[in-house]
Structure 1
Amino acid sequence: MDSTGCVNQRRSYNGELCTIRYAGKVAGTTGEWLGVEWDDPTRGKHSGEHQGVRYFTCKSKNPTAGSFVRPSRAADKPRSFLEALREKYASEFEEEAARRKLGDAASGDSLHKPIAISGKIVEEVGFDKIRKQLAELQELKIVLLDGLRVAGVLAHEGSAEQFQSACKEIEQTCPKIVELDLSRNLLNRWRDVASICDSLKRLKTLKLNGNRMDPPVGEGLRFERITELQLDDTLLSWDEISALTYQFSSLTTLIASANQISYISSPLSSTITTLTLEDNEISSLSSLRQLVSLDSLSCLSLRGNRINKIYESSPDEASPLRFSKNLQSVDLSRNRIDNWLFVNQLSLVFPGLQTLRISGNPLHDQSVGPSIVTGLPEKTMTIDEAYMLTLSRIASLKMLNYGTITEKDRSNAELYYLSLIGKELSAFPESAAREILPKHPRYSELCEIYGEPVIRRATALTGSGVAVNPRSVAARLLRIAFCLRRELPNPGNSVMNQDNALKEEVKVKEIPRSFDTYQVKAIVSRLFDLAPYEFRLIWETDELDPVSKQNIDDEDGWDSEDESINPSEPRNSSAFVKREVELVDGTRDIGFLFQSDLTEARIRVEPRYWCKQCKIFIRDTAFERTQHEATGKHQGNLKRFLRDIHRDNERQQRETQRAKSEVERLRQTVSGNAAGKSGNAASWKPAAPAPQASPRPVSLDERKKQMAQLAEMGVAIPDEYRGDMALAGEWQTVSEKVIGADGEKTGPSLGVRKRKHEGDEEEEEAKREAERFVSKGWGSRTREYPGAQDDADLDALLESTKDVKKAKPSTAEATPKENDKEAADVPSKGEGDSAAADSEQMPQTEKEQSEAAAVPPAPMAKSEPEEASTGVIFKKRKPKVMRK
């Protein structure tokens, strides 16, 4: 078998595509062999070399791209263009039509054959309509024939007539194709590709990815209508690709990724606007110098290369690398960029750069800066930090990593970048600025926009002469002087001696700026032995605030001499006081309160105590306490506080007495003895307490003074003291006037009438509650109950009370007695003066009231004439005490 003519042919073995590179014998073996280069480089075993002898060379640089196969090995059957088209889009309909012609109706409709998955029938809905649309080949616009073993117009070599006939059939079958994908097929001749393109009059996009085309391009082949050409993984050299682009007169987009390109040795067609060279072996931007002449190039993708520098060697100042300003979009992601100097020069290489993608580079795996600059442990920068540091170095960027850059994003990023430059300048001496500033070409521009950053280089500590790195821990310490004014033991009560009575105590402490107010207060608490919440911290700044002098000097008092001041005299209208800032409790760092250049501060510690009556903090000085205790608010709160204590004590005593009474009643009930017997002492009562020394008796004046204070606080006053006190609202009847027969007879208002306070009403209500007895089960249901034998006196008293209620004296007996009493009570006019008569009449009136309460008056007889008498006295009856 002569196999020498099959070199450079494309074949497929079990779906694996390959190109025959050698046909012949191999030393050490018998028979003929075919040396093939697999499209999948991991499929082979070597690179065309066997036992030290090279039989062929592979285009792929992979060491396992080649192997040997026998010529007798069966290869997969190739297809023509139309066969692959019908196989992909119309195979089912053609099989069904052929089956119907043969009359094979028993085979069933394969198009509607049910699909079974795990024994379950799956019904297809709408797929028939899609198949019918795709089967209309003349309407197809996008055709994908990748991986269908297409060998060309014909599957095998044929005559010229067969070739022309196949081309016409292609034009008639699918005339509307706009996009054609022939990737990963068995194509190797440009003549077949050109014939297919000529047959498709509307074709614009051609994809030949993964094919292994012959290097020479036939003369006279033109691709007039193709605007986009994809040649990924075709292993064509750059010179072949460059020559090919000139045969596509309308080409605007060229994609030549994964072709092992390391250097651009020749220019491309000037019509190209988009160039993609991804996954190649380009190591520097200077390798693309031949593309500088493309004025229409607007988009360049270099993703997945090996780019890590701008120039391969030292830059040539005479001819610097500079692309056209029309090039606005560049993709440098997934390269090997590892320094910011590369990013700084991008604006010079691409002056019109507006869109950049640079993610996936080792540059973003580094830290923002060394610890000596940032003052933080070195760690990988975040996505936001990489984003800000990149866009701040290129002023013309409008989109970075597919994200639109807003004005706020740019200002934040540039301020952050400028602060890092300031920290770097501060970390090194001034002589190192000549080496630092060239690394940041936008420093001057950013300083004009935002101003120069604060630069704090290494300084010397006071008195020590030791230089301190501003990024060190020592530079982040704040030297604070805490001042506390304590009172002397006996300063005196004079207000003028107040300043002389205070002693200032100062303690200096170095505190990190990262401490919050709570931590600072804990330190002050330990320094001065104060409770954490019984003082406040006041920062005395050096700044002065203007304050009106009138607000400082004027007092609430007024003097007539003020009117004598001549208003025309000049007077200082304003003064200045030092600004004071209180350190409010919180978790915010004190470093936010003090400026970065401030290293020392003075903080005043003001003790304060908690006023229990007013529920507020007061400065803990004698003057402040005196002023506060003299206020009306404090006095009122103090009275309410004492009154509440007194009422709580009385309430507690009442509750205790009520509990004792209830316990005594229950014990009397259990023992069977009546309560209230004085002769029988309960056995449970404790022994009499031991005699104690009698306290000093309180004088009458002291007692009256105490009662007056209690009355001011609203506390109820005992009745024995109320008569000697002039209490508002309590009135007594001191005299009574009897109107003669000439005047109208009206009843006098007898009795004592008092207006009681709310506290008195509450006390009387509490007393009535304490005196109330609970009825027992045997009160009215049984005639005898435990202890009834000893209650003869009580029964007699109750019986007499019942008789009095039942008795109804006659009118004749009641009237004379009343008249006698009235006659005896009314004195004659000649006896003494009227004042003496009134004073003697008052006890008699009270006696009449008591008698009237015991015996009700009898009604007058109707037959006797009505005589003028005193008015009827109405008295509210007291409630009956329930029987025990």
Structure 2
Amino acid sequence: MAPNEAYVGQRRSYSGALCTVRYQGPLPSLKGEWLGVEWDDPTRGKHDGSHEGQRVFKCLSSSPTAATFVRPSRKPDPERTLLEGIKFKYAPSTTPKSVGQSASVGNAAIEISGKVVEEVGFDRIKKQLSLLADLKIILVDELAISGIVARAASSVEVKDAQRELQQTCPNIVELDIGWNTIETWQDVANICLPLKRLKILKAGGLRLRSFRATRSENEANPFQNIEELYLNECLLRPEQILQILSPGESCGFPSLKVLSLSLNELDVFGKRSQNSAVKCQSVRTLVLHNNKFRDLSSLPDITSLFPNIASISLQGNELSQLGLQTAQQFDTLETLNLAGNQIDSYAFLDALTSIFPNLTSLRISRNPLYERTHDGVEQQQSAASDSTSYYLTLARIPGLKSLNYTTITPRDREEGEIYYLSVAEKQIRALLDTKDERPLEQKAKIACGMHPLYTTLCGKYDREDIVQVFVESTKNQKPQSESARPKSELDIYAPGTLGSRLVDACFYIQKPEPECSRTFQRLLPTTVSVYRLKSLVARHFGLRALQFRLVYESHEYDPVEPISITTRNNRGKEDWDAWGEWDVDAVQEGHDLFGHSPADDELSGGDKDSAPKYMVREGQRFRKRETEVLDGMREWGDFLDLTAHDGSKRRDVKVRVEPF
């Protein structure tokens, strides 16, 4: 094959711009032969491989302007071998003239304004650069390097070039051969074989046509000591990546710790059945920046191939949903980078705790979720936005130690979790107060799903769990009879209207006279003044104006005194005398030690179905709260306790009338 003869899959460079030949042949309505090339820089082309609306060839890139048709007669740039590229960059005085350097150019005098510039110290610099044996880091990217030897070289020539490279540069630790005209992974293996100390290999921007490297039985593994491998912007597919990593039945990179596969337009990372037994045990970090992943559904395949993976970076993808079952867990993962995606819901973050139980470092900035506050309002100040998102994120992941490269201090965690509780309570209360057809149990379940850590954090900071209070209150609620007024009947009125201020008021006289009615019940607004209310009550019961008291009986209970038994092991005469002359036999029959009779535990008026006047809880005696409605022009609603424990508004009010 002639040196410049084209073929499909060939890598070429035109004026320093790399491309790959994808088509060779005629084009409709055009004379002669044409080459269809796909440029590495997709902005350089004019189309996507189509001609006059008809597909001629397909590009690896998804860009609509990655391809161009050129004439085969167009001369490509000359290529170099690896050693020629190293000498060209690091020891230019030793570069052969055949590579393109002219002796006359190298020896020409430099003149500025007609004066010859004297070169001082350049001989010493060239001498230092000529010591290629001391080089540990070599960067020969974008030098049109085709391999360790020229194309179509024999195996003998390959062996000779490897020996020369080993003698010339024996101490290379890091090598960058990216964005060159290398065509096969076998060419990469031939380059790495003589470099016994090589640990970092960067091969980004290569457009390979063959992805499997072979070696003889007695030949060493060329990638034995590679710890970091960078294959960015190579437009590789998952099966091609697997061929590179595992050319046989075992992993070809036994020491690999970091694998970078950014800018490959990957949307899935799946294992193939023929390589199901292959595992790269040493890989701890996987970088997948700027691909096209839409969810995390590839994680099971990734962790199967890399069972000890500890860090995954998915920055700059299109992630918007999990794509995983919450029952799935990835115990080895400790660091996760999700910055620059399309995550717009805190539900995504809530699931991370169960999916990644050992997650300690997270980066999740530059997502739509943080472009607005927790209630959906656009942020006006970036500082407030950052603080809000920072707190609401760290509170959702208890084991997190670093967020967006910021170390989480104990104070940050405490402030964040307390702020999270306040936001969660506001959202949960709004949900529980919603009047719809959903069962109460379903509302409570939805509330727990909205904030899975709410109950745990309530216990941590000794806060009242409004979900638990809501559930208990609904369980203890007595069913209403058909004749009773439904509790929610008055809740249909919009806030701020007169109907929203109505309460179902019941007035009764403790010891009514025979000619008076015992009770009086009607709907009354809480905005009525006390004087006007008393006028209404007096007219109904036939009482003299302002010659009676109104006592509001609240639903709340206040502590009275503890119930305790004092015991002492060593009682002396002084202890007994300390009791004074109190006579235990003087307690009235039917009363307890505190002077309360059983009649006190019944509501006045003989209402057996109402709550008792006294109650005992955990050794503490409580008495039902009573508040006198004082005379004046104040609204009588100021004396009422209308807010229940669960945040709902009470509508039933009971008032005792006590004539003077």
What TM-score, normalized by structure 1, do the two folds share? 0.47
> Counterpart in 1 of 2:159?
164
Q: Following the alignment from structure 1 to structure 2, what is the Cα–Cα distance between the partners of residues 419 and 399?
A: 23
The answer to whether 1:7 aligns with 2:8 is: yes
1:344 to 325, 345, 350: 350
Q: Following the alignment from structure 1 to structure 2, what is the Cα–Cα distance between the partners of residues 227 and 108?
A: 40
What does 1:599-614 align with in structure 2 at a 5 Å threshold?
none
- Contact 2:179–2:204 under 8 Å retained in 1: yes
Q: Is the alpha carbon distance of 1:87 and 1:460 closer, same or farther for their aligned partners in structure 2, counting shifts above 3 Å?
A: closer
- Contact 1:329–1:354 under 8 Å retained in 2: yes
Q: Is the alpha carbon distance of 1:108 and 1:54 closer, same or farther for their aligned partners in structure 2, counting shifts above 3 Å?
A: closer
Instruction: Return the offset for 1:443.
Output: 0.5
SS at the partner of 1:233?
A: coil
1:300 to 302, 312, 329: 312
> Counterpart in 1 of 2:254?
249
Q: Is the alpha carbon distance of 1:442 and 1:51 closer, same or farther for their aligned partners in structure 2, counting shifts above 3 Å?
A: same
Q: Is the alpha carbon distance of 1:304 and 1:123 closer, same or farther for their aligned partners in structure 2, counting shifts above 3 Å?
A: farther
- Contact 1:115–1:123 under 8 Å retained in 2: no
Q: Following the alignment from structure 1 to structure 2, what is the Cα–Cα distance between the partners of residues 351 and 326?
A: 9
> Counterpart in 2 of 1:274?
285
Q: Is the alpha carbon distance of 1:93 and 1:194 closer, same or farther for their aligned partners in structure 2, counting shifts above 3 Å?
A: closer
> Counterpart in 2 of 1:404?
407
Between 419-428 and 63-72, report the one with greater CA deviation: 419-428
Instruction: Return the offset for 1:176.
Output: 0.5
Instruction: Return the offset for 1:60.
Output: 1.1
What are the superposed Cα offsets for residues 588-639 of structure 1, whole Å, 9 maximum, x if unpaired? xxxxxxxxxxx979xxxxxxxxxxxxxxxxxxxxxxxxxxxxxxxxxxxxxx
- Contact 2:88–2:95 under 8 Å retained in 1: no
- Contact 2:458–2:465 under 8 Å retained in 1: no
Q: Is the alpha carbon distance of 1:212 and 1:461 closer, same or farther for their aligned partners in structure 2, counting shifts above 3 Å?
A: closer
Q: Is the alpha carbon distance of 1:174 and 1:29 closer, same or farther for their aligned partners in structure 2, counting shifts above 3 Å?
A: same
Q: Following the alignment from structure 2 to structure 1, what is the Cα–Cα distance between the partners of residues 259 and 68?
A: 32
Q: Following the alignment from structure 2 to structure 1, what is the Cα–Cα distance between the partners of residues 334 and 347?
A: 20
> Counterpart in 1 of 2:230?
230
What are the superposed Cα offsets for residues 500-520 of structure 1, whole Å, 9 maximum, x if unpaired? xxxxxxxxxxxxxxxxxxxxx
What does 1:23-38 align with in structure 2 at a 5 Å threshold?
23-38=24-39
The answer to whether 1:329 aligns with 2:341 is: no
> Counterpart in 2 of 1:447?
458
Instruction: Return the offset for 1:94.
Output: 5.9
**Residue segments in structure 1 that go unaligned for 5+ positions in a row:** 97-101, 469-478, 482-598, 602-884
Size of the aligned set, in residue pairs, is 455
SS at the partner of 1:300?
A: strand
Runs of 4+ in 1 over 4 A off after TM superposition: 1-5, 93-96, 107-110, 113-116, 118-131, 376-381, 428-434, 453-465
Q: Following the alignment from structure 2 to structure 1, what is the Cα–Cα distance between the partners of residues 115 and 501?
A: 84
The answer to whether 1:193 aligns with 2:188 is: yes
**Residue segments in structure 2 that go unaligned for 5+ positions in a row:** 98-102, 247-251, 434-439, 471-490, 503-526, 530-636, 640-660
Q: Following the alignment from structure 1 to structure 2, what is the Cα–Cα distance between the partners of residues 461 and 16?
A: 70
Instruction: Return the offset for 1:452.
Output: 2.1
Q: Following the alignment from structure 1 to structure 2, what is the Cα–Cα distance between the partners of residues 197 and 335?
A: 36
What does 1:422-441 align with in structure 2 at a 5 Å threshold?
422-430=425-433, 431=440, 432-441=443-452
Between 190-199 and 77-86, report the one with greater CA deviation: 190-199
Q: Is the alpha carbon distance of 1:463 and 1:329 closer, same or farther for their aligned partners in structure 2, counting shifts above 3 Å?
A: closer
The answer to whether 1:386 aligns with 2:389 is: yes
- Contact 1:302–1:333 under 8 Å retained in 2: yes
The answer to whether 1:139 aligns with 2:140 is: no
Instruction: Return the offset for 1:196.
Output: 1.2
- Contact 1:256–1:277 under 8 Å retained in 2: yes
Amino acid paired to 1:421: A
Instruction: Return the offset for 1:310.
Output: 0.8
Instruction: Return the offset for 1:316.
Output: 4.9
> Counterpart in 1 of 2:91?
90
Q: Work out the percentage of aligned pairs sharing the same amino acid.
A: 40
- Contact 1:369–1:378 under 8 Å retained in 2: no
Instruction: Return the offset for 1:424.
Output: 2.3
What does 1:439-518 align with in structure 2 at a 5 Å threshold?
439-452=450-463, 466=500
Q: Is the alpha carbon distance of 1:22 and 1:448 closer, same or farther for their aligned partners in structure 2, counting shifts above 3 Å?
A: same
Instruction: Return the offset for 1:167.
Output: 1.7
Q: Following the alignment from structure 1 to structure 2, what is the Cα–Cα distance between the partners of residues 15 and 6?
A: 20
What does 1:41-190 align with in structure 2 at a 5 Å threshold?
41-92=42-93, 130-190=125-185
The answer to whether 1:359 aligns with 2:365 is: yes
- Contact 1:151–1:187 under 8 Å retained in 2: yes
Higher helix share: 1
Q: Is the alpha carbon distance of 1:125 and 1:400 closer, same or farther for their aligned partners in structure 2, counting shifts above 3 Å?
A: farther
Q: Following the alignment from structure 1 to structure 2, what is the Cα–Cα distance between the partners of residues 258 and 150?
A: 22
SS at the partner of 2:21?
A: strand
Q: Following the alignment from structure 2 to structure 1, what is the Cα–Cα distance between the partners of residues 497 and 15?
A: 87
Q: Following the alignment from structure 2 to structure 1, what is the Cα–Cα distance between the partners of residues 367 and 214?
A: 44
Amino acid paired to 1:382: S
Q: Following the alignment from structure 2 to structure 1, what is the Cα–Cα distance between the partners of residues 280 and 302?
A: 10
- Contact 1:392–1:417 under 8 Å retained in 2: yes
SS at the partner of 2:193?
A: helix
What RMSD in Å do the two structures reach over aligned CA positions?
3.8
What are the superposed Cα offsets for residues 676-732 of structure 1, whole Å, 9 maximum, x if unpaired? xxxxxxxxxxxxxxxxxxxxxxxxxxxxxxxxxxxxxxxxxxxxxxxxxxxxxxxxx
Q: Following the alignment from structure 2 to structure 1, what is the Cα–Cα distance between the partners of residues 350 and 342?
A: 16
Instruction: Return the offset for 1:249.
Output: 2.5
Q: Is the alpha carbon distance of 1:378 and 1:232 closer, same or farther for their aligned partners in structure 2, counting shifts above 3 Å?
A: closer
Q: Following the alignment from structure 1 to structure 2, what is the Cα–Cα distance between the partners of residues 451 and 123?
A: 81
Amino acid paired to 2:293: I
Q: Following the alignment from structure 1 to structure 2, what is the Cα–Cα distance between the partners of residues 400 and 337?
A: 16
- Contact 2:289–2:315 under 8 Å retained in 1: yes
Higher RCO, Cα 8 Å, sep 6+: 2
SS at the partner of 1:175?
A: coil
Instruction: Return the offset for 1:24.
Output: 1.0
Q: Following the alignment from structure 1 to structure 2, what is the Cα–Cα distance between the partners of residues 138 and 416?
A: 60
The answer to whether 1:368 aligns with 2:374 is: yes
Q: Following the alignment from structure 2 to structure 1, what is the Cα–Cα distance between the partners of residues 269 and 450?
A: 30
Instruction: Return the offset for 1:154.
Output: 1.9
> Counterpart in 2 of 1:240?
240
Q: Following the alignment from structure 1 to structure 2, what is the Cα–Cα distance between the partners of residues 123 and 43?
A: 41
- Contact 1:334–1:360 under 8 Å retained in 2: yes
What are the superposed Cα offsets for residues 547-576 of structure 1, whole Å, 9 maximum, x if unpaired? xxxxxxxxxxxxxxxxxxxxxxxxxxxxxx
- Contact 1:137–1:173 under 8 Å retained in 2: yes
Q: Following the alignment from structure 2 to structure 1, what is the Cα–Cα distance between the partners of residues 464 and 117?
A: 71
Instruction: Return the offset for 1:172.
Output: 0.9
What are the superposed Cα offsets for residues 792-814 of structure 1, whole Å, 9 maximum, x if unpaired? xxxxxxxxxxxxxxxxxxxxxxx
Q: Following the alignment from structure 1 to structure 2, what is the Cα–Cα distance between the partners of residues 307 and 334?
A: 9
Q: Is the alpha carbon distance of 1:412 and 1:219 closer, same or farther for their aligned partners in structure 2, counting shifts above 3 Å?
A: same
- Contact 2:335–2:361 under 8 Å retained in 1: yes
Q: Following the alignment from structure 1 to structure 2, what is the Cα–Cα distance between the partners of residues 345 and 126?
A: 63
> Counterpart in 2 of 1:419?
422
Instruction: Return the offset for 1:62.
Output: 1.3
Instruction: Return the offset for 1:426.
Output: 3.8
Instruction: Return the offset for 1:220.
Output: 3.1
What are the superposed Cα offsets for residues 91-121 of structure 1, whole Å, 9 maximum, x if unpaired? 146699xxxxx9x9xx9977xx7785x9999
Amino acid paired to 2:395: S
